[in-house]
Amino acid sequence: MSSTGLIVSANARPSIGGQGLNLYHTVEALRQVFDLQIFCSAPFPGVPTTVVPGSRVGEFIGKTRFLRRYVDWQQLITDAQFDHEVSRRLVPSKVFHGVTHQCMRSLEAAGNNRSFRVLDVITPHMEEYYSHQRRECSAFGIRPPTNRIFINRILAEYQRADVIRVMSNYALESFLERGFSADRVKVIPPPFDLSDFPAADFSGPRFRVIFVGLISPWKGFHHLISAFNRLQLKDSELILWGGPGSRPISRYLQREQALNPAIHIQPMSVREVGNETVYAKANVLVLPSLSDGFGYVVAEAMACGLPVIVTKNTGAADLVRDGENGYIVPPGDVDVLADRLAHLANHPALVREMGKKARQAVAALSFDRFRADYQAMIASSN
């Protein structure tokens, strides 16, 4: 059998969604230094790609009305089939790079091929992540998007990997607290190209607060709504860019909009409408996550020159210097969140100054840095 330098496996479409962005960034950064082969769900231009078809059972669950709420089983079945297809098609390689919850069998097959195995973990440790998911989802009466079978697959992946790449220090600490050694878990934040992000001009007639991403309980969107409602800021608006993942959340949002017409829901992704519409026309982005391995939208907003408000459990808090380019608040603390929003709304000059420093912070996350950090991770672990 022929061999290759690096195999990247991700059940995602390049540049689509958080996982697709992670795939795109990883490949773009590493294609210069590795002979690459990719397994994913759509072709990657310019790179040898094996397109793995989706799961028909998973698609059936997603399209069937009374089954849609079983998101955990849909994801488990879809990712397990992807993993199975990749594992049986693997060829020997120097390095195998798989994304968490999609590569339990593939990691085993890569080990049999004597490949060095990198597990790309886009969340905190799964037990940490699930504890927040379960608690926040229960408040809305909805199922978490994970279950114990799903979690056990991920825990097996942790053990099979030679090294685990995480995106933030929050994610790193979640592993260290559970007994993982520091030499097995490495922080490599994603890269960004500032030329993709137009600068905000703060010329709008209203103080615009935005939330971007899937409107899910563990993202803390409800705490943001509570803080915004409490302030009753003059000439302000809150826009949530994203879609609700369940009927209970849709009903909650409808009630809040009826009570406060300054709250708007835009069920579209940033990729659909563009950075210039979402970020460049806002005054501040808030991502009050209860648990988040990174939070791409935070770095994207900062790249557009927006100050941000995040929690200490949002991985992208690594980019935030509290009080200088944004604020870091305790998870779930509506009082502190409201206080920071009010301060920014009342000090427009500070918003501009923070935004400039925010853009500078993201400039450090270059593709060259990602490439160098990745190569150093491989070298130090071999």
Does residue 33 sit in the same domain as residue 135? Answer: yes
State how many domains the chain has: 2
For the chain, helix, strand, coil in percent to 5 are 50, 15, 35
DSSP letters, 312-357, are: TTBGGGGG--BTTTEEEE-TT-HHHHHHHHHHHHT-HHHHHHHHHH
Query: Mean pLDDT for each 10-residue chunk of the chain (382 residues)?
Result: 76 89 94 93 93 65 52 75 94 95 96 96 96 93 86 95 98 98 96 94 94 94 97 94 90 96 94 93 97 96 98 98 97 97 96 97 95 93 68
* One domain for residues 37 and 50: yes
Structure tokens at 236: 């302000």
Domain coverage including residue 134: 4-191+366-381
Q: Do the Cβ atoms of 308 and 291 come closer than 8 Å?
A: no
Q: DSSP states of 46-102 as a string?
A: TS-EEEPPPPHHHHHHHHSGGGTT-HHHHHHHHHHHHHHHHHHH---EEEEEEETTS
Q: 37 and 7 in contact (C-beta within 8 Å)?
A: yes
pTM comes to 0.92
Indicate if 376 and 330 belong to the same structural domain: no
Tell me, yes or no, whether 309 and 372 share the same domain.
no
- For residues 109 and 230, membership in a common domain is answered with no
Per-residue pLDDT tens over the stretch 218-277: 999 999 999 999 999 999 999 999 988 788 999 999 999 999 999 999 998 898 899 999
List pLDDT tens digits, range 188-197: 999 999 999 9
Largest CA distance in the chain: 68
CATH of the domain at 299: 3.40.50.2000
Are 88 and 222 contained in the same domain?
no
Q: In what order do the strands lie in the sheet with 236-241?
A: 263-266, 236-241, 207-212, 284-287, 308-311, 326-329
Q: Are 297 and 213 in contact (CB under 8 A)?
A: yes
Rounded to whole angstroms, the Cα distance separating 5 from 210 reads: 42
Condensed to tens digits (0 to 9), the pLDDT of residues 158-170 reads 999 999 999 999 9
Residues 6+ apart with CB under 8 A from 32: 371
CA distance between the termini of the chain? 23
